[in-house]
Amino acid sequence: MKAERTYQYRFYPTPEQAALLARTFGCVRFVWNAVLRYRTDAFYQRQEKIGYNDASAFLTQLKKQPDTAFLAEVSSVPLQQCLRHQQSAFKHFFAKRARYPSFKSKKHRQSATFASSAFSYRDGQITLAKCREPLNIRWSRDLPAAPSTVTVSKDAAGRYFISCLCKVDTEALPITFKMVGIDLGIKDLFVTSDGHRVNNPRHTARYARKLAKAQRRLSRKQKGSNNRAKARLKVARCHAKIADTRRDHLHKLTRQIVNENQVIAAESLQVKNMVKNRHLSNAISDVGWGVSAPA
């Protein structure tokens, strides 16, 4: 049985590739915001719902305008994929599974999705459209198959990642007769039905002093200055370190639970409602219940 899985790697672009990616991210962000404004105005002013075809036609007209000629400097595939992502976001919104799509900012995570027509995968190397040489990817493990799409992203800490979507054969885990129940907590990360306790490592507390120092320095910098941009990057890197440490720890624990048990029972928690408690919101967010709870 075939299933789609995503494999993420970090890569280090050349100055030429970084400049091209910066233009691509900017164009994707511009198209997203322009089309979102077009859809929002059409609904509130004319009570008209704009679908994917109308949004694509709007993008075609947008490219023909002299003021937006810069959209032709990058591959057209990420711009079209941007419309598909926005259409999916509206689908989830109307189904009441998500909030109304928001406008994108250049200060947050940037991304661009390339379909198979906009990149090549040869000899274990990936070359994006309009790039002269392949990306310098740190292959932590081999891809099981040629990717159908790749998503290039840059996080707030300035790191570049590439996510490859592949169709792979799924393998069933060996059958075990062990079952376990999990009780999530704050003092202990979780307690299993057989009495095993996993302590809460409190990742944010480990880096609290370093984060507070970086945030104080950021608050003293003049808005719009290069020094403020550098200080903001240091704060983002500290947050990234905390998030990476939490994600790695939770992944190892959940992987161990899944490998060792045939049946897993966990309590259902309304995390979004629980974080509204101002006395426990920081502790709940730090422990990562929304990430660690099995589906």
pLDDT tens readout for residues 196-252: 888 888 888 889 999 999 999 999 999 989 999 999 999 999 999 999 999 999 999
| Domain co-membership, 45 together with 154 | yes
Q: What is the pLDDT of residue 294?
A: 36
Q: Which residues sit opposite 181 in a β-bridge?
A: 265
User: What one-character DSSP code corresponds to residue 172?
Assistant: P
Lookup: tokens for 153: 């992203």
| Domain co-membership, 253 together with 110 | no
Helices (H), the chain: 15-46, 52-64, 76-94, 203-206, 208-220, 226-260, 271-274, 281-287, 289-292
Q: How far is CA 171 from the centre of its chain?
A: 26
| Domain co-membership, 150 together with 186 | no
| Domain co-membership, 56 together with 114 | yes
CA atoms within 13 Å, Cβ hemisphere of 74:
25
In the predicted structure, residue 271 carries a pLDDT above the cut 80 = no
Q: How far is CA 291 from the centre of its chain?
A: 14
Say how many domains are in the chain.
2
| Domain co-membership, 51 together with 163 | yes
What's the chain's Rg over C-alpha atoms?
Answer: 22
Where in the sequence is the domain holding 27, given as residue range(s)? Answer: 2-169
Q: What is the C-alpha to C-alpha distance for residues 213 and 75, in angstroms, rounded to an integer?
A: 41
| Domain co-membership, 205 together with 103 | no
**151, part of any domain:** yes
**75, part of any domain:** yes
**Summary mean pLDDT of the chain:** 90
Tell which phi-psi region holds residue 288, choosing left (phi > 0), alpha (psi between -120 and 50) or beta.
left
